[in-house]
Amino acid sequence: MPGAEVAQARRGRSSLRQEVADEIKRHMLAHRMRPGDLLPTESELCATLGASRSSVREAVKSLAALDIVEVRHGHGTYVGGLGLSALAESVTFRGLLSPDDDFRAYADLVDVRELFERGNADGIVAALTPAHLDALDDLVTEMARHPAGGEGFTAADRAFHTLLVEPLGNDLISQLTQAFWDSYATVGPHLDLVTPGDERQTLAAHHRAVVDAARSGDASAFAAAIGAHYAPVRGRVAAARGATGRP
């Protein structure tokens, strides 16, 4: 017998697992729970929802993949951080799975990353504080001290782009920026893109130009500097497209 409570509300509808997942979300909303709050144990969910442990576990696992819940072994199940790690994973996999379609997924990624910074030029330049600018400068120095593509450079680059949009105060944009940076950094190395040595040398300089433009308060100059930062990547993609066949 497939339980009672949920099963009853499941006549001709979707799978029991989906119903259980929806019920768990409803529970979180009804109790106005916050990230980090403790959810009922699996056994309790089984009893409450009238489903077997397998079904409950599978439902919980799909919610965990979306960062809606977080499961800690031997501890319990908690409300998740609701971050966009799921997005990053999905977009990354998309890029890895179709590397031969003219690098389209990768190029799309670059466009979106640029949009977040260039399209918010006014807001970013207006909201950046001297403290922000100094921190950005330090990160550029950090980049210049490490070889491009290395550990230190990569970490500084991620922090740079995160900090750049942070003053906007838009949490969604901040998380999207990080998710897309992660995808970009993961997909890139799997592509056959040729990065000339002299281009590696100018990477830190491009970032420095962005900070300088921001410090000057000139939104147009800032937008142009952002454009110059992303232009080389587009050039590499175009070069690879030309090389691999497409006329």
Cβ contact 106:187 at 8 Å: yes
Secondary structure E strands in 60-168: 69-72, 76-79
By CB under 8 A, residue 220 contacts its own copies: no
In whole angstroms, what separates CA 138 from the centre of its chain? 24
Binding range to DNA, per CB under 7 A, among 24-32, 52-60, 109-117, 152-160: 52-60
Burial letters for 83-112: b for 16+ Cβ neighbours within 10 Å, e otherwise? ebbebbeebbeebeeeeeebbebbeebbeb
Judged by CB under 7 A, the residue of 52, 162, 170, 186 near DNA is: 52
Distance CA 151, CA 143 (A): 10
Judged by CB under 8 A, the residue of 4, 9, 38, 97 near its own copies is: 97
Distance CA 161, CA 180 (A): 11
Q: Which residues have a Cβ under 8 Å from the Cβ of 76 and sit 6 or more positions away?
A: 38, 39, 41
By CB under 7 A, residue 51 contacts DNA: yes
State the binding string over 75-114 for DNA (x if CB under 7 A, else -): xxx-------------------------------------
By CB under 7 A, residue 69 contacts DNA: no
Site for its own copies in 6-65 (CB under 8 A): 15, 17, 25, 28-29, 32-34, 54, 57-59, 61-65
Distance CA 107, CA 134 (A): 31
* Choice between 179 and 214, CB closer to its own copies: 179
Site for its own copies in 104-143 (CB under 8 A): 104-105, 108-109, 111-112, 115-116, 118-120
For 98, the enclosing helix (H) or strand (E) is none
From the list its own copies, DNA, none, which binds 5 (C-beta under 5 to 8 Å, kind-based)?
A: none
Binding range to DNA, per CB under 7 A, among 51-59, 144-152, 189-197, 215-223: 51-59
Q: What is the nearest approach in angstroms of DNA to the Cβ of residue 15?
A: 4
